[in-house]
């Protein structure tokens, strides 16, 4: 049997690794080829060392509260290289109204804190009495939050969270796709506050942010090393055609036929690769992100808080989404006596961000660090990484459209879908769906053996 994986980002690599594992388990041999358009594997993930700093241009880590990435690390014998955030680094902040506010992790902290005004708090408390929507219909994140918690909660709590995860616009993003758990809690408990009281949890995300001593790219290099036939790089699959019971892939230098194909490419690439899904793919927008690294002598950042980092509200007036205190979160991210802060800017609200001159991005990042953290000294080390199309944006109605896309693919036989364009943007989502797509493809191939 032959299988192809198109795209060697984390989703495609997880699917390829899963395919080998599943077919070995089921006792049949597989000829597997993984095609990657660029000269390197990893897609969004890249970790590089410069002047003693470890620069992550994509994810900083993943939460250890979901199993898929940890299991993958274990399969790859990487468990000994895992590192987790220290407790003091868990503190997160929101910058609004010219001030940095700690994100409350318990109800008492929320009530005592000044992030939300007394009127805003009262409105949030009234959530308990807001009539619940028990149906499975979708709406935007903003509409859901305004309806249940009020506008101030949207501006100061959920809006920054949308920036932090999606660099997105709450008015355009689907609640069912972006934060399905919130709608589920409304349906099941009638109110988010009632759900928190019953489940006993509020505040920040569960679990510890986890990475590898050498950075997130360690997962990519280990996956690549675990694929006996390797990854074919600079290999863009341009067209896919049905050939009897197989699929023919057209590549620059020729064609190859596979019994099963896993797509693990961004929506804007899938659009041309598999036109029956072009309608949905065309409606998935992407946010640009600039990642600006600033390295300081620690004496220059005295007074700046410890913790994980901060997110800015849209109304805060910064041309930055927020910053991550990279060297606080994990050891080995900056040389001794130095501190690394990574400022993210762009997002769907700043669509031209990826084309801004580097000096402008550096200037605005410096202003953000001064306003939020009081850092007045110029960094002694700077670098900039850009993503033109960083994070997919799930439009309202997306879950139903994804189901329709899955039906279209199922009717075609032999085509399987993975990737952050469809199954969640987190590292854990990508590894989970990669493994699922592999299991589905292996089951299909086993049936044809
Ligand atoms: C700045 C930033 C910070 C992030 N931070 C976090 C974080 O802290 N935690 C977290 O959990 N997640 C984070 N994420 C999200 C997470 O990193 C991504 O969702 C994930 O890495 C996407 O993996 P993927 O394989 O689905 O897609 P991609 O990485 O986009 O990979 C797709 C691959 O397909 C290839 N390709 C496209 N078309 C073709 C073709 N026709 N033929 C062959 N190959 C093709 C591309 O070249 C690419 O390599 C972050 C993302 C960004 C951008």
Q: What is the mean pLDDT of the chain?
A: 95
Give distance in angstroms: CA of 42 to centre of ligand 1: 7
Give distance in angstroms: CA of 130 to centre of ligand 1: 38
| 255, pLDDT greater than 90 | yes
Percent of the residues in the chain that have a pLDDT greater than 90, as a whole number: 91
pLDDT band at 198; cut points 50, 70, 90: confident
Out of 4, 5, 6, 7, mutate this one to test ligand 1's pocket (max ligand atoms within 8 Å of CB): namely: 7
pLDDT band at 202; cut points 50, 70, 90: low
Q: Is 353 in contact with 347 (CB distance < 8 Å)?
A: yes
| 174, pLDDT greater than 60 | yes
Nearest atom, ligand 1, residue 421 CA: 26
Mean pLDDT of the 407-411 span:
94
**pLDDT tens, residue by residue, 106-123:** 778 888 899 999 999 999
What is the pLDDT at residue 107?
77
What is the pLDDT at residue 205?
54
Percent of the residues in the chain that have a pLDDT greater than 70, as a whole number: 99
Return the closest-CA partner of residue 289 out of 358, 346, 343, 368.
346
Return the closest-CA partner of residue 4 out of 259, 333, 296.
259
**pLDDT tens, residue by residue, 306-326:** 899 999 999 999 999 999 999
Return the ∠ at Cα 257 (arms to 256 and 259), rounded to 5°. 145
Give distance in angstroms: CA of 18 to centre of ligand 1: 18
pTM given for the model = 0.96
> Of the given ranges (56-60, 192-196, 240-244, 293-297), which has the lowest mean pLDDT?
192-196
Nearest atom, ligand 1, residue 60 CA: 8
> Of the given ranges (6-10, 120-124, 206-210, 217-221), which has the lowest mean pLDDT?
206-210
Mean pLDDT of the 300-306 span:
87
Mean pLDDT of the 52-64 span:
97
| 289 pocket-lining for ligand 1 (C-beta < 6 Å) | yes
- Atom 5 of ligand 1, nearest CA residue: 59
Nearest atom, ligand 1, residue 418 CA: 26
| CATH numeric code, 2-47+216-284+395-448 | 3.50.50.60
**pLDDT tens, residue by residue, 5-22:** 999 999 999 999 999 999
Q: How far apart are CA 141 and CA 174, in angstroms?
A: 6
Mean pLDDT of the 59-77 span:
97
What is the pLDDT at residue 267?
98
Give distance in angstroms: CA of 61 to centre of ligand 1: 13
Mean pLDDT of the 348-377 span:
97
**Per-domain residue ranges of the chain:** 2-47+216-284+395-448, 60-103+204-214+286-393, 106-199
| 172, pLDDT greater than 70 | yes
Give distance in angstroms: CA of 428 to centre of ligand 1: 12
| 7 pocket-lining for ligand 1 (C-beta < 6 Å) | yes
| Strands laid side by side in the 62-63 sheet | 62-63, 209-212, 82-84
| 201, pLDDT greater than 70 | no
Give distance in angstroms: CA of 123 to centre of ligand 1: 38
Mean pLDDT of the 35-39 span:
98
| 222 pocket-lining for ligand 1 (C-beta < 6 Å) | no
Per the listing, tokens 């961000």 go with 353
- Atom 7 of ligand 1, nearest CA residue: 59
pLDDT band at 105; cut points 50, 70, 90: confident
Q: 60-103+204-214+286-393: which CATH topology?
A: Polyamine Oxidase; Chain A, domain 2 (3.90.660)
Phi–psi pair at 49, nearest 5 degrees: -100, 130
| CATH numeric code, 106-199 | 1.10.3110.10
What is the pLDDT at residue 368?
98
- Using H for helix, E for strand and C for coil, what is the string for the chain? CEEEEECCEHHHHHHHHHHHHHHHHHCCCCEEEEECCCCCCECCCCEEEECCEEEECCCCCEECCCCHHHHHHHHCCCHHHEEECCHHHHCEEEEECCEEEECCCCHHHHHHCCCCCHHHHHHHHHHHHCCCCCCCCCCEHHHHHHHHHCHHHHHHHHHHHHHHHHCCCCCCEEHHHHCHHHHHHHHHHCCHHHHHHHHCCCCCCCCCEEEECCCCHHHHHHHHHCCCCCCECCCCEEEEEEECCEEEEEECCEEEEECEEEECCCHHHHHHHCHHHHHHHHHCEEEEEEEEEEEEEHHHHCCCCCCCEEEECHHHCCCCCEEECHHHHCCCCCCCCEEEEEEEEECCCCCCHHHCCHHHHHHHHHHHHHHHHCCCCCCCEEEEEEEEEEEEECECCHHHHHHHHHHHHHHHCCEEECCHHHHCCCHHHHHHHHHHHHHHHHHHHHHHC
- Going by DSSP bridges, is the β-strand pair 92-96/246-251 parallel, antiparallel, or unpaired? unpaired
- Atom 50 of ligand 1, nearest CA residue: 59
| 237 pocket-lining for ligand 1 (C-beta < 6 Å) | yes
Q: Is 181 in contact with 66 (CB distance < 8 Å)?
A: no
> Of the given ranges (200-204, 224-228, 406-410), which has the lowest mean pLDDT?
200-204
Give distance in angstroms: CA of 7 to centre of ligand 1: 9
**pLDDT tens, residue by residue, 344-359:** 999 999 999 999 999 9
Nearest atom, ligand 1, residue 344 CA: 1
Return the closest-CA partner of residue 81 out of 327, 325, 330.
330
What is the pLDDT at residue 89?
79
Give distance in angstroms: CA of 387 to centre of ligand 1: 10
Give distance in angstroms: CA of 43 to centre of ligand 1: 5
pLDDT band at 445; cut points 50, 70, 90: very high
> Of the given ranges (77-81, 201-205, 319-323, 424-428), which has the lowest mean pLDDT?
201-205
Q: How far apart are CA 313 and CA 310, in angstroms?
A: 10
């Amino acid at each position: 049997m032959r299988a192809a994986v198109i795209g060697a980002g984390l989703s495609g690599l997880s699917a390829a690794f899963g395919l080998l594992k599943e077919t070995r388990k089921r006792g049949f041999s597989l000829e597997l080829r993984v095609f990657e358009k660029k000269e390197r594997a990893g897609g969004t993930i890249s970790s590089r060392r410069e002047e003693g700093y470890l620069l992550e241009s994509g994810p900083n880590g993943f939460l250890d509260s979901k199993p898929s990435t940890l299991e993958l690390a274990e399969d790859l014998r990487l468990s000994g290289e895992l590192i987790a955030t220290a407790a003091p680094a868990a503190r997160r902040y929101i910058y609004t109204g010219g001030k940095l506010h700690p994100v409350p992790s318990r109800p008492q902290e929320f009530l005592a804190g000044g992030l939300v005004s007394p009127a805003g708090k009262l409105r949030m408390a009234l959530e308990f009495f807001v009539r619940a929507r028990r149906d499975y219909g979708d709406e935007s994140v903003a509409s859901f939050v305004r309806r249940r918690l009020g506008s101030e909660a949207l501006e100061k709590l959920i809006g920054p969270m949308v920036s932090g995860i999606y660099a997105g616009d709450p008015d355009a993003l689907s609640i069912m796709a972006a934060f399905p758990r919130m709608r589920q809690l409304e349906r099941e408990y009638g109110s988010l506050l009632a759900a928190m009281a019953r489940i006993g949890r509020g505040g920040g995300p569960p679990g510890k942010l986890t990475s590898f001593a050498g950075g997130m790219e360690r997962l990519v290099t280990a996956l690549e090393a675990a694929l006996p036939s390797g990854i074919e790089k600079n290999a863009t699959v341009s067209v896919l055609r049905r050939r009897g019971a197989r699929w023919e892939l057209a590549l620059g230098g020729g064609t190859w036929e596979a019994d099963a194909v896993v797509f693990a490419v961004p929506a804007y690439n899938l659009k041309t690769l598999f036109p029956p899904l072009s309608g949905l793919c065309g409606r998935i927008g992407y946010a640009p992100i600039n990642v600006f690294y600033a390295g300081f002598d620690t004496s220059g950042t005295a007074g700046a808080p410890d913790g994980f980092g901060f997110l800015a509200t849209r109304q805060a007036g910064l041309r930055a989404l927020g910053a991550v205190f990279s060297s606080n979160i994990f050891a080995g991210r900056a040389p001794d006596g130095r501190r690394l802060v990574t400022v993210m800017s762009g997002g769907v609200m700043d669509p031209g961000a990826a084309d801004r001159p580097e000096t402008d991005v550096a200037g605005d990042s410096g202003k953000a660090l001064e306003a939020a953290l009081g850092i007045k000294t110029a960094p002694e080390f700077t670098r900039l990484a850009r993503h033109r199309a960083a994070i997919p944006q799930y439009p309202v109605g997306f879950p139903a459209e994804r189901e329709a896309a899955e039906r279209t693919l199922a009717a075609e036989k032999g085509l399987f879908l993975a990737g952050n364009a469809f199954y969640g943007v987190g590292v854990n989502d990508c590894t989970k769906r990669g493994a699922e797509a592999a299991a589905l493809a292996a089951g299909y191939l086993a049936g044809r053996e």
